[in-house]
Amino acid sequence: MRVMDKSGPQMPGWPKDFDWSVITYPARGYMPTRFIRSDVAWHVSVNSRKFKLGAVVKVNVYPVKRMRSYTGLLKRASKPLPIDNFSINRAAFGTTPAIIFSPRGAVIRNGAAYWVEILGVTSTTGNPVKLEYFVEFAG
């Protein structure tokens, strides 16, 4: 894990102008269960040089299950989980803006998987963008 800010020297091995789109917690892809608890909020920080949040932002978190373990086929639930504690942090602290939310009923255990989509985001040129990613807990 690395933590960075603009107060110190350039991080060795990182490009001078590190280019990123979103930072998610839990992380996209496989997320070790030992680094998250069920009572901790999820969040997505978007790069304000690439994206703008609209007046209305919506987060959907869909449970995903494996249809057949040997084929790797996945099926997303038809309804998203209810979202508790939704907020957007626009303060000049860390990477902003940050979308903070708690998907009610999300289970943190090996093999539990979710599809997250965020609506109400545009590119800096004004084109609508749907941010989405997959997370599966492992360990």
Report d(CA 99, CA 51) in Å as an integer. Answer: 13
135 CB neighbour count, 10 Å cutoff: 23
Question: pLDDT band at residue 1, thresholds of 50, 70 and 90?
Answer: very low
Q: What is the pLDDT of residue 93?
A: 64
pTM, two decimal places: 0.83
Q: Comparing 71 with 95, which gets the higher pLDDT?
A: 95
Q: What is the pLDDT of residue 5?
A: 58
Give SS3 for 114. Answer: strand
Q: What is the pLDDT of residue 74?
A: 83
Q: Hey, CA dihedral for 90, 126, 45, 20, is it positive or negative? A: negative
Q: Comparing 20 with 71, which gets the higher pLDDT?
A: 20
CATH number for region 22-138: 2.60.40.1220
Give SS3 for 90. Answer: coil
Task: Quote the distance between the C-alpha of residue 50 and its chain's center.
Answer: 16
Residue pLDDT, tens place only, 98-135: 999 999 999 999 999 999 999 999 999 999 999 999 99
Residue pLDDT, tens place only, 31-85: 999 999 999 999 999 988 899 998 899 999 999 987 665 566 888 899 999 999 9
C-alpha separations of 35 from 5, 57, 110, 114, 133 in Å: 22, 27, 12, 17, 19
Q: What is the pLDDT of residue 15?
A: 57
Residues facing 113 on adjacent strands: 64, 136
